[in-house]
């Protein structure tokens, strides 16, 4: 007698539910000790709807196919010296920032989702988190493999994981990801899956991956395409967890709203590095930061929050400020990097005439007025041989750990935005009301911050002088400073026989 057919949904249910059980020899609260202290109330885990339905056999099969294709491209890229097809070697500053700043947070996400994959009480939620945990491991590993060939031919890519734990600007992504990891499981997933992956991921992914496509970087763009179907699974998990928390109990709303406000601002501040990358590091920019912000946050994000308003969830606090800042932050951050280019693990370079014309066009309200004069002044200094990198170290925001360079864009764009608060007799400084609010809600957490500049002054970073600190970072003299005149630039000229300058369109 032939077996009766199971429909896919039923079959999937049988393969993913009912294998766990209510423990009797140990209390369930001891087996799952972490899913209640945050105050999120879950009345029925069975109401969890799996955001995607994959059994392991299907997962192995799909992912193996993707890996075979990806590694075929990586191999052929290396064999054919694909690095010579880049638009310009200066573009690699973006990849240097990527492998030192983004790849390590993929690994952090792997560990964080494993924590949830073990500790959520609901079977379905655990499995969804486990699949993301292994996907994130994939991203970390494939990124290291993709960029491996560049490391053989260019500087600044050789020690990403050592640097992630130490370098001054990499404490921005490190503190972001460790903030989420050190939180409870519901806050972690709100931060990473929703605020970061659902609301803001396109602002990270599109600039890097389209940027790669626009600049002849076949290796990275192939990785990007390959990761896309993983990312879309991760986004659906982000939406599902928010809806699940909000549907489970009305008391969850204020907690989720506060996390949303906090992690939106945290993730948005992190993306300021991406904004600078997008507008300045890319030889050919597919779209400006402001354009990306308008499409991916103002339009798409606006529609999303409209959809979520039926649960009572509001747009994240300070989103209007973020939109107003879209005209400014890329210029402000790139200025910091250019002025401290002797302490960055990627090469800095001033925007070319063509690039500045593009920036004027993309930022008609701000670039010519506030930022062009600064870059033209530095250009003149470089021409005269009087340009010098900054000697002192910048003050950092206690929360986002970005140097205090953001300004009062809504009132006076030339005025630095400073906020200060007192805790336990000490003063703490912030770049914005968003970061100050985050601190004031959990001061015990943020007083612990490992602020690189403080640490340097306290003598914990290799020694008191810049060369000692750079050595401690494992930045070699070839890694840092201006692109023009660097070893990377010299090799590029050797291969292409031209390009005395940065090439930017």
Per CB under 8 A, contacts with another protein among 152-181 are 152-155, 157-162, 164-166, 171, 174-175, 178-179, 181
Backbone phi and psi for residue 48, each to the nearest 5 degrees, phi listed first: -60, 125
Measured in degrees and rounded to the nearest 5, phi and psi for residue 419 equal: -130, 150
Contacts to another protein from residues 305-364, by CB under 8 A: none
Site string for another protein, 1-40 (x = CB under 8 A): xxxxxx-------xxx-xxxx-xxxx---xx-xx--x---
* Footprint of another protein on 243-282 (CB under 8 A): none
| Smaller CB separation from another protein, 378 or 450 | 450
Q: Is 57 in the site for another protein (CB under 8 A)?
A: yes
Q: In the numeric block, which tokens belong to residue 110?
A: 């792997």
Does 457 interact with another protein (rule: CB under 8 A)?
Answer: no
With 0-12 / 13-18 / 19 or more C-beta atoms within 10 angstroms meaning exposed / middle / buried, residue 197 is buried
Give the nearer residue to another protein in terms of CB position, either 2 or 385: 2
**Cα end-to-end span (Å), the chain:** 70
Nearest approach, Cβ of residue 436 and another protein (Å): 17
Stretch that binds another protein, among 73-81, 337-345, 350-358, 423-431 (CB under 8 A): 73-81
- Residue 288 CA from chain centroid, whole number: 17
Identity of the residue, 130 or 229, whose beta carbon is nearer to another protein in the bound complex: 130
Q: Which is nearer to another protein, 116 or 287 (CB)?
A: 116
Residue keyed to tokens 């805790």: 423
Point out which residues pair with 17 in neighbouring strands.
none
Instruction: From 279-287, 347-355, 432-440, 487-495, give the range in contact with another protein by CB under 8 A.
Output: 487-495
Which span (45-53, 133-141, 283-291, 324-332) binds another protein, by CB under 8 A?
133-141
Residue 373, helix vs strand vs coil: helix
Q: Which of 288, 292, 283, 147 is nearest to 215 (CA)?
A: 283
Choose, by CB under 8 A, the member of 317, 471, 487, 501 that binds another protein. 487
Per CB under 8 A, the list member of 45, 52, 53, 151 interacting with another protein is 151
* Residue nearer to another protein on the CB measure, 198 or 446: 446
The DSSP line for 55-122 is -HHHHHHHHHHHHHHHHHHHHHHHHTTGGGGSS-GGGHHHHHHHHHHTHHHHHHHHHHHHHHHHH-SS
| Nearest residue (CB) to another protein, 109 versus 338 | 109
Angstrom distances, CA of residue 311 to CA of 301, 308, 315, 447: 16, 6, 12, 34
Q: Is 71 in the site for another protein (CB under 8 A)?
A: yes
Closest CA relative to residue 133, chosen from 143, 118, 121: 118
Is residue 115 close enough to count as binding another protein by CB under 8 A?
yes
Q: Which stretch binds another protein (CB under 8 A): 209-217, 253-261, 276-284, 440-448?
A: 440-448
Judged by CB under 8 A, which of 41, 47, 49, 61 binds another protein?
Answer: 61
* Number of shown-chain residues binding another protein (CB under 8 A): 97
Per CB under 8 A, which of residues 182..241 are in contact with another protein? 182-185
Burial (CB < 10 A; 0-12, 13-18, 19+), residue 7, is exposed
* 63 lies in the site for another protein, by CB under 8 A: yes
Instruction: For the CB of residue 261, give the shortest distance to another protein in the complex, in Å.
Output: 18
Instruction: Name the one range near another protein by CB under 8 A: 60-68, 282-290, 349-357, 428-436.
Output: 60-68
Q: Could you give the maximum distance between any two Cα atoms of the chain, in Å?
A: 90
If the CB atoms of residues 41 and 61 are measured against another protein, the closer one turns out to be 61
Q: Any idea which residue has 């983004």 for tokens?
A: 102
For 373, the token pair is 């004069």
């Amino acid at each position: 007698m032939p077996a009766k057919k199971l429909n896919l949904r039923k079959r999937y249910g049988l393969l993913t539910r009912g294998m766990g059980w209510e423990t009797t020899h140990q209390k369930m609260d001891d087996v799952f000790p972490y899913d209640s202290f945050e105050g999120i109330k879950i009345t029925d885990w069975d109401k969890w709807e799996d955001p995607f339905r994959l059994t392991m056999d299907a997962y192995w099969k799909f992912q193996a196919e993707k890996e075979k294709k990806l590694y075929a491209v990586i191999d052929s890229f290396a064999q054919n010296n694909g690095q010579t097809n880049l638009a310009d070697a200066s573009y690699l500053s973006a990849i240097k920032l990527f492998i030192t700043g983004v790849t390590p947070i993929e690994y952090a996400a792997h560990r964080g989702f494993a924590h949830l994959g073990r500790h959520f009480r609901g079977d379905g939620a655990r499995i969804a988190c486990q699949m993301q945990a292994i996907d994130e491991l994939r991203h970390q590993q494939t990124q290291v493999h993709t960029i491996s060939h560049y490391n053989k031919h260019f500087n600044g890519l050789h020690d990403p994981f050592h640097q992630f734990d130490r370098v001054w600007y990499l404490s921005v992504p490190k503190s972001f990801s460790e903030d989420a990891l050190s939180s409870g499981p519901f806050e972690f997933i709100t931060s990473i899956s929703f605020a970061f992956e659902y609301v803001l991921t396109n602002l990270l992914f599109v600039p890097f991956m389209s940027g790669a496509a626009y600049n002849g970087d076949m290796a990275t763009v192939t990785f990007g395409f390959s990761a896309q179907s993983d990312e879309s699974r991760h986004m659906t998990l982000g939406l599902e967890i928010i809806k699940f928390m909000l549907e489970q109990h009305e008391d969850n709303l204020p907690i989720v709203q506060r996390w949303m406000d906090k992690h939106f601002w945290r993730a948005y501040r992190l993306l300021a590095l991406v904004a600078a990358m997008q507008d300045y590091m890319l030889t050919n920019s597919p779209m400006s930061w402001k354009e990306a912000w308008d499409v991916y946050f103002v339009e798409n994000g606006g529609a999303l929050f409209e959809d979520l308003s039926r649960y009572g969830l509001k747009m994240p606090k300070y989103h209007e400020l973020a939109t107003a800042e879209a005209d400014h932050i890329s210029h402000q951050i790139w200025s910091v990097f250019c002025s401290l280019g002797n302490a960055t693990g990627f090469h800095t370079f001033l925007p070319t005439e063509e690039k500045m014309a593009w920036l004027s066009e993309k930022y008609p309200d701000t670039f010519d007025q506030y930022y062009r004069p600064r870059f033209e002044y530095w250009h003149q200094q470089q021409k005269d041989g009087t340009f010098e990198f900054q000697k002192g170290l910048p003050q950092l925001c206690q929360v986002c750990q970005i140097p205090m360079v953001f300004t009062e864009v809504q009132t006076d764009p030339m005025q630095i935005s400073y906020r200060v608060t007192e805790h336990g007799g000490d003063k703490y400084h912030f770049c914005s009301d968003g970061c100050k609010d985050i601190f004031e809600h959990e001061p015990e957490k943020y007083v612990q911050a490992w602020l690189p500049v403080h640490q340097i002054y306290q003598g914990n970073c290799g020694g008191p002088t810049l060369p000692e600190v750079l050595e401690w970072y494992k930045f070699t003299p070839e890694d840092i400073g201006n692109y023009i005149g660097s070893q990377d630039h010299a090799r590029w000229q050797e291969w292409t026989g031209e390009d005395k300058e940065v090439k930017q369109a």
